[in-house]
Amino acid sequence: QENSRQLVPQDKQDEYELNANEYWNDFYKIHENGFFKDRHWLFTEFPELAPDQNLSQPEASEYKDGSTRKPRETRLGSCENGLCSLETRTQEHHQLDLMKDSNDIINRLDTDREAVPKLGDLKLSDGDFPGSSATYRILEVGCGAGNTVFPILQTNNDPGLFVYCCDFSNTAVDLVQTNAEYDSSRCFAFVHDLCKDQSPYPMPEESLDIIILIFVLSALLPEKMQCVINRLSRLLKPGGMILLRDYGRYDLAQLRFKKGRCLSDNFYVRGDGTRVYFFTQDELDALFTTAGLEKVQNLVDRRLQVNRGKQVTMHRVWIQCKYRKPFPAGQKENGHVH
């Protein structure tokens, strides 16, 4: 209530929306890939991303949370700094450093950058598209510098895996494509504006097994979120899932905003011009179910982070969701007729 009494003037709000791409480009030009840590905790929170977790296999989806193996009691990781305000990054990087995955990073030869295809040059007809021969396809929306994509490629050696990744920021996509880990035979990075219906995807509808949204949906104008989820859901195969982790209502980052940074209810602008929304479980459930998806998981993750050096405690609130596209009536899932 305190920090939302005074709203940002409408003309300034319009400017933040109009120039959103520039604000994110500037963000990545300043921080490049040094702001983020690779999210190796992903495979504990979302085992669907790990090797041999293909949801189309008979053994898959045996557990209530939709994972293909029993989740551990304690969950790793603190990727949440992905879009946090800059003032919290030191503490959160420390959290991530403690949980750095111990797996060795696979060394790959750098890809010839001239050979990296551009989305506008593709002819997506007759079933010929990047990853068309893959048996398991993952799309990460809002990939940033690749801190989710590269851990997936490093950890999941399934020969049938293909990973797509996109970002609003040209700078972010350039960082992914010029990374030594980028392998165009297993990955396709492209620039994409989620909020533009005419902005193309490099794959047809009902072709994806997994869509990842990690601290991405919160950066969009709230009134555009439903259309974004509707369109993404159409890209999923029956049985495919959207995996989301994002900011929850009354997270420390929300309470820290000063007066004059609020755009609308629970929607704020940071000092660098990027924006963030703080969700409730019910709001996310409504977005996904309206798009025709079924709930597998929708939980609040509350954590107390402590910076002992500064004697600071931080109450963090995140929401994690898994929503599945249902099979049409009569279609078989793992040998069972619905």
For every residue of 235-258, DSSP letters joined together read: HEEEEEEEEEEEEBTT-HHHHTPP
What single-letter DSSP state applies at residue 7? Answer: B
Give the chain's mean pLDDT: 76
Task: Write down the residue that tokens 């350039």 correspond to.
Answer: 174
Q: Residues of the chain with pLDDT > 90: what percent? A: 42
| Residues ≥6 apart with Cβ < 8 Å to 117 | 130, 184, 188
Of 284 and 312, which is predicted with more confidence? 284
Per-residue model confidence (pLDDT) at position 24:
56
> Is the pLDDT at 113 greater than 60, yes or no?
no
Of 157 and 113, which is predicted with more confidence? 157
Per-residue model confidence (pLDDT) at position 321:
97
> Is the pLDDT at 73 greater than 50, yes or no?
no
Per-residue model confidence (pLDDT) at position 200:
84
d(CA 318, CA 281): 10
Per-residue model confidence (pLDDT) at position 101:
33
SS3 15: helix
Per-residue model confidence (pLDDT) at position 170:
86
Highest averaged pLDDT of the listed ranges 173-177, 193-197, 317-321: 317-321
> Is the pLDDT at 78 greater than 90, yes or no?
no
Token pair for 41: 């905790």
Spatial strand order in the sheet of 275-277: 262-264, 267-269, 275-277
> Is the pLDDT at 216 greater than 70, yes or no?
yes
d(CA 25, CA 313): 32
> Is the pLDDT at 94 greater than 50, yes or no?
no
d(CA 201, CA 192): 8
Mean pLDDT value across residues 4-23: 74
pLDDT in tens, 146-158: 888 999 998 888 9
Say which range, 55-59, 65-69, 108-112, 280-284, has the weakest mean pLDDT. 108-112
**Per-position b or e across 125-152, b if 16+ CB within 10 A of its CB:** eeeebbbeebebbbbbbbbbbbbbbbbb
d(CA 123, CA 119): 9
Q: Where are the alpha helices (DSSP H) in the chain?
A: 10-18, 20-31, 42-45, 89-98, 149-155, 170-177, 225-235, 252-255, 281-290
Per-residue model confidence (pLDDT) at position 107:
32
Q: What pTM, to 2 d.p., does this model score?
A: 0.75
What structural domains does the chain harbor?
A: 20-48+127-247+278-302+317-325 (3.40.50.150)
d(CA 2, CA 205): 44
Q: How confident is the model at residue 308 (pLDDT cuts 50, 70, 90)?
A: confident
Bridge partner list, 189:
165
| Residues ≥6 apart with Cβ < 8 Å to 59 | 68
Mean pLDDT value across residues 234-238: 97
Q: How confident is the model at residue 58 (pLDDT cuts 50, 70, 90)?
A: very low
Say which range, 12-26, 47-61, 147-161, has the weakest mean pLDDT. 47-61
Of 334 and 45, which is predicted with more confidence? 45
